[in-house]
Amino acid sequence: MPELGIARERIVFVSGIGCAARFPYYMQTYGLHSIHGRAPAIATGLSTSRPDLSVWVVTGDGDALSIGGNHLIHVLRRNVNVKILLVNTQIYGLTKGQYSPTSPLGTKNKSTPMGSLDWPFNPVSIALGAEATFVARSIDTDKKHLTEVLRRAANHPGTAFVEIYQNCNVYNDGAFDAVKEQTENQIRLEHGQPVRFGAEGEKGVVLRSDGACELVDVATVGEEALLIHDEHQQEGSLAFALSRISHTPHGPTPIGIFRDVERPVYDQLMAEQLETAKAEGAGELAGLLNSGDTWQITKG
């Protein structure tokens, strides 16, 4: 945070409920530990009323995608000037190990001893589907990559959504090892570059005729056939196709910035609307109540 050049008294972290919600207590900034799933709504009010602040939401896969799912998609589509960090552990940790909206199908734990029947959410796909203007994914232990992603998110005008793969060493240890430890599975997205991965970059991604991404051997198809990543594509279908490569991180998985586009920011639009209303002069409540479609009820 010091690298952003923002005074700490102008930074606010808003959280909901869960392990990730303790985050504000570890920061030497302002913070608000709010209610379950409602952090995006509270952050919206704070951001629109105090445009001088840098407002961040820290949430988890349960807090954001279960009880808070409705609030999340609306803050994303509105493009409110808040930065959302979704710490994904694929488990409910605070309540001691129940399956969450991102737990893989068949997950066995205290609440699903025979295996979860729920198909898991893909947080990046949800954010892209809600037309978020900045969507990224990083890994908790990759300090360099995570720092750069957060820097880009902080400088983005509007809503920035970052999914962070976070190991829960108590209730879901090793959930992301296939990506964190086996770095050859990390598909690192770089704008304007062919999408390649593997220990020697021997694997790649091509875009099929049906719009889906396919993993290929570069030696077989040639580098010229590889997909060129374009994080600034306005339409968003390319970013969405990349997000579908891995529904759960048990094989090759894209990390980095999927989408970074500009769109009018909700806070600014609201401020302009308020100024227009003020310019029209003060209203009068009685006149407002008696305007438009009114009627009188009389005795017959």
Length of the chain (residues): 300
Residues 23-81: tens digit of each pLDDT: 999 999 999 999 999 999 999 999 999 999 999 999 999 999 999 999 999 999 999 99
Q: What is the mean pLDDT of the chain?
A: 93
Residue 232 has pLDDT above 80, yes or no: yes
Both tokens assigned to 197? 């991965």
Q: Residue 293: its pLDDT value, please?
A: 79
Which has the higher per-residue pLDDT, 116 or 284? 116
Q: Give the start-to-end residue ranges of the domains of the chain.
A: 8-188+251-272
What's the pLDDT band for 300 if we cut at 50, 70, 90?
Answer: low
The whole-model pTM stands at 0.93
User: Is 113 exposed, middle or buried, given 0-12, 13-18 or 19+ CB atoms closer than 10 A?
Assistant: exposed
Q: Does domain 8-188+251-272 have CATH number 3.40.50.970?
A: yes
- For residue 106, the model assigns a pLDDT of 93
Q: Assign 3-class secondary structure to the chain.
A: CHHHCCCHHHEEEEECCCHHHHHHHHCCCEEEECCCCCHHHHHHHHHHHCCCCEEEEEEEHHHHHHHCHHHHHHHHHHCCCEEEEEEECCCECCCCCECCCCCCCCCCCCCCCCCCCCCCCCHHHHHHHCCCCEEEEEECCCHHHHHHHHHHHHCCCCCEEEEEECCECCCECCCCHHHHCCHHHEEEECCCCECEECCCCCEEEEECCCCCEEEEEHHHHCHHHCCECCCCCCCCHHHHHHHCCCCCCCCCEEEEEEEECCCCCHHHHHHHHHHHHHHCCCCCHHHHHCCCCCCCCCCC
Check residue 292 and give its pLDDT. Answer: 78
